[in-house]
Amino acid sequence: MSRRSLSGWRAKAAIALGVATIALVLASHDRPRSPERVTQHADGEQVDVAEGAQRLAGTWLREQTEQGVRSRRLLQLAPDGAFRERVRIVTDTGEVSEQEHAGTWLYDGTNLKRKYTLMNGSPPSRLKLPFATFEIRFESRNEFVGRDHIHRNTVRYRRVEPGTAL
């Protein structure tokens, strides 16, 4: 009875096949889950993530008056995930200040999340990167309401034409 050993090209082929098999198993095991296409809200409403992100792209206005201070915010959400926010604040004494912020945004089907990379034209401290997260509900195609569960406030944005003045 002859014994055949794996040598030469057979050994190389067996090792290559084994390495390829292990790589395939590890690649499929470590692969992150693909994002859900549809999210279900607590009230039963189903939202398509991609459709929601497309609806959010554009220019949005938020006006607010609190304790005599009026603020007007223009939020521009670009389809590529960048945002720009311009803010105009008028105090009860008539003092006016304006700020401009920028960063990246994403929509996960429930929350509009913004990470600021510029605060009033300057990069924020690396130790305290500002984020804003709102659970949003579309009131209509041109209006959404956001709930900030951390600061416990509700905001309302309405779509406006690009180039709208502060």
Record the pTM.
0.72
Q: What is the pLDDT of residue 31?
A: 44
Query: Is 38 inside any structural domain?
Result: no
Whether the per-residue pLDDT at 9 is higher than 70: the answer is: yes
Residue 122 carries which DSSP code?
B
Same domain assignment for residues 76 and 25 = no
Whether the per-residue pLDDT at 14 is higher than 70: the answer is: yes
Measured distance CA(105)–CA(113) in Å, rounded:
5
Same domain assignment for residues 120 and 52 = yes
**Whole domain around residue 151: which residue ranges?**
46-160
State how many domains the chain has: 2
Q: What are the distances in angstroms from CA 55 to CA 7, 42, 138? A: 62, 21, 9
Q: What is the pLDDT of residue 34?
A: 47
